[in-house]
Structure formats: C-alpha cells, structure tokens
C-alpha cells in the first residue's frame, strides 16, 4: 500500500517524499509523480556534485576543464579534435570552449595545432601530460562515485541504469522532435559535463 507521496507504507521517507506529502496536503488534486523521479535525479546530482568537483580540484582542474581533456582522451589516439567537434560533444558556446582551451594550453595539458589536412583549420591535441592527468582524474572520480552506489546491489544497479537509459532516450527523442518542429537544428543530445 502506498501513501499520498507515493511511498510504500512503512518505508523510510526521503526529502522528496516529505515534499510530495506536503504538496499532497496543499494541492491534493495535483499529480506530483514527476518529483518522485525527476526531483530525485536533480537532488542526486546536487548531492554528488561537490564530491566530483573536489576530486577534479585535487588534480588542479575544474569540471569544465576535465570535460575538455576527458573528451580528447576518450576520442582515442592521436587524441585530437577540431573545435567544432568539441562544441558538438561538450554542448558549450565557442567562447566557453575558447576560455577553457586557453587555460588548459597555459597549463601544458593541450596544444592547438594547424590541421595537416587544411592549414587554415586548427585541431586541439591532448599533450602527454594531459592524457595522463585525464586518466588519473577519471580513475579517481569513478572510484569515488562507485562508493555512492553502495546502497544498491549489482542487480539493482543494472535495473536502475536500464530504466534511466530508457527515460533519457525517450526524453532525447521528444526534445529532438520538438527542435525539428520548430525548425531548429537538433544537437543530438543535451546537457554537458559528461564523463
């Protein structure tokens, strides 16, 4: 049996359950089910963000800088991308990317090179130091984030990952359709800061 916030009777209440219970009292006709999923996803992101940011800060990086070097590192050898490819992968403005590239180049983690194919265009290349740092930071981050999953067993993690994938694919398809209906180019995915 579930209560007014959608929680199983007798189960421990979390912050979202308490909010839903209060809203159910104030607006009993309103379906607050989105809070049970999207509200928790938002809260989860806010709860783990400080730990993730502290991990990257320990390597002298902010989240945006890590996003750049990790994007280059996971692109595979020779760890080079054009700025246009990076805009598409990172979903940031050209000004935002330029600022990050300037800082990373100054730190010796990336370099800008003229394209061998077209001398007028530039490629962003990860230096050896940048590749090592990207891998070290990513390994440390994954170990730290894995600890957050301790309350779930392996089967629960797999089910949750599958459900989140299904939800995200559905939302991405909906957003893409909306972009197409408005005649806007669809970025293919939304959001940034992906490991």
Flag whether the pTM goes above 0.85.
Answer: no
Give residue 39's pLDDT. 96
In this structure, are residues 125 and 108 in contact, taking their beta carbons and an 8 Å threshold?
A: no
**Strand order of the sheet with strand 122-126?**
80-81, 122-126, 110-114
In this structure, are residues 80 and 113 in contact, taking their beta carbons and an 8 Å threshold?
A: yes
Whole-number average pLDDT of the chain = 89
Residue 173 pLDDT grade (very low, low, confident, very high; cuts 50, 70, 90) = very high
Mean pLDDT of 91-107: 87
Residue 190 pLDDT grade (very low, low, confident, very high; cuts 50, 70, 90) = very low
Mean pLDDT of 100-104: 95
Three-class secondary structure of residue 42 per DSSP? helix
CA distances from 156 to 35, 90, 91, 102, 142 (A): 21, 30, 31, 42, 18
Residue 102 phi, psi dihedral angles, 5° rounding: -60, -45
E strand segments, the chain = 80-81, 110-114, 122-126
Per-residue pLDDT of 130-141, as tens digits, reads 999 999 999 999
Three-class secondary structure of residue 103 per DSSP? helix
Per-residue pLDDT of 113-156, as tens digits, reads 987 777 678 999 999 999 999 999 999 999 999 999 999 999 99
| DSSP label at residue 139 | H
Structure tokens at 97: 């990317």
> Residue 166 pLDDT > 60, yes or no?
yes
Give residue 11's pLDDT. 83
Q: Which residues of 143-168 are buried (b: 16+ CB within 10 A; e: fewer)?
A: eeeeeeeeeeeeeeeeeeeeeeeeee
Give residue 187's pLDDT. 55
> Residue 2 pLDDT > 70, yes or no?
no
Can you tell me the distance from the alpha carbon of 20 to that of 125, in angstroms, rounded to the nearest whole number?
49
In this structure, are residues 75 and 43 in contact, taking their beta carbons and an 8 Å threshold?
A: no
Give residue 71's pLDDT. 95
């Amino acid at each position: 049996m579930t209560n007014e916030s959608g929680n199983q009777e007798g189960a421990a209440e979390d912050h979202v359950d308490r909010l839903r219970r209060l809203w159910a009292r104030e607006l009993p006709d309103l379906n607050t089910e989105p809070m049970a999923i999207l509200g928790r996803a938002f809260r989860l992101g806010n709860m783990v963000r400080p730990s993730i940011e502290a991990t990257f800060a320990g390597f002298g990086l902010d989240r945006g800088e890590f996003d750049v070097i990790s994007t280059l590192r996971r692109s595979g050898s020779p760890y080079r991308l054009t700025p246009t490819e990076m805009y598409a992968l990172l979903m940031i403005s050209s000004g935002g990317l330029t600022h990050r590239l300037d800082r990373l180049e100054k730190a010796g983690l990336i370099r800008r090179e003229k394209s061998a194919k077209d001398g007028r265009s530039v490629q962003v290349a990860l230096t050896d130091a940048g590749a090592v740092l990207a891998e070290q930071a990513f390994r440390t981050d994954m170990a730290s984030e894995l600890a957050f999953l301790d309350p779930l067993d392996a089967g629960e993690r797999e089910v949750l990952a599958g459900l989140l994938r299904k939800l995200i694919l559905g939302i991405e398809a909906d957003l893409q359709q909306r972009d197409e209906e408005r005649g806007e180019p669809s970025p293919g995915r939304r959001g940034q800061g992906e490991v």
